[in-house]
Structure 1
């Protein structure tokens, strides 16, 4: 598969972000690059067969939507791992069941069953 568009999130503490994203959302580490001081300068995480990138910087921005098979189970896992739920699970008129949350550094993540 040749990808063209990649989601990107910025973190002040990239290692803590990787720990959270793998624990809360089930992402899998693909690659981590560090600078000479050992700080993470770039990382890639798998979400099913898709890829997101994270790097150092100021958190925030519009957020990322990720399709999941079971929004309820995903929501419960994220909440248990400490995600701040910003939009409760909801059934949308277009057929998706979804929720939104923030990670510990304030990046917004949307998860739902809608697959465009």
Structure 2
């Protein structure tokens, strides 16, 4: 087994996801624009024990297959926000992946943000927004 580490230190909170088909979620996130920093294969065929996926504008997602590690997380129950300078480009990639659009892209009027929400193949909701707080 080879473990690859990108060496990029992320100074933020890292969300953790589990999936019954983590390889599908991993591939979906990579095609959406995340970059893999670390992948530790699981004990079962095609299982992921631990995967770190970095957003190019900052932040990290942790992903593992269901049953690989003790966790209260359940597949398809997360709601995450990712800050991006170009939500339109991310939405175009999401649509090319046939993601379910939960909320269409909109320019918010109560705060300065352009954002949208899509569901990944497990049903987790991902909001991509220009608003960083």
The total of aligned residue pairs comes to 115
Q: Which has the larger radius of gyration?
A: 2
User: Runs (4+) of structure 1 moved beyond 3 Å?
Assistant: 1-4
User: Which has a greater percent of strand?
Assistant: 1
> Contact 1:9/1:107 (CA < 8 Å) preserved in 2?
no
Q: Distance in 1 between matches of 2:100 and 2:122?
A: 10
Counterpart for residue 81 of structure 1: 97
**Does 1 or 2 have the higher relative contact order (CA < 8 Å, sep 6+)?**
1
Superposition RMSD in Å:
1.6
The two structures have a TM-score, normalised by structure 1, of 0.89
Q: Equivalent of 1:9, from 17, 29, 33?
A: 17
Q: Distance in 2 between matches of 1:42 and 1:7?
A: 13
Counterpart for residue 36 of structure 2: 29
In structure 2, stretches of 5+ residues that fail to align are 1-8, 67-73
Q: Equivalent of 1:59, from 69, 75, 78?
A: 75
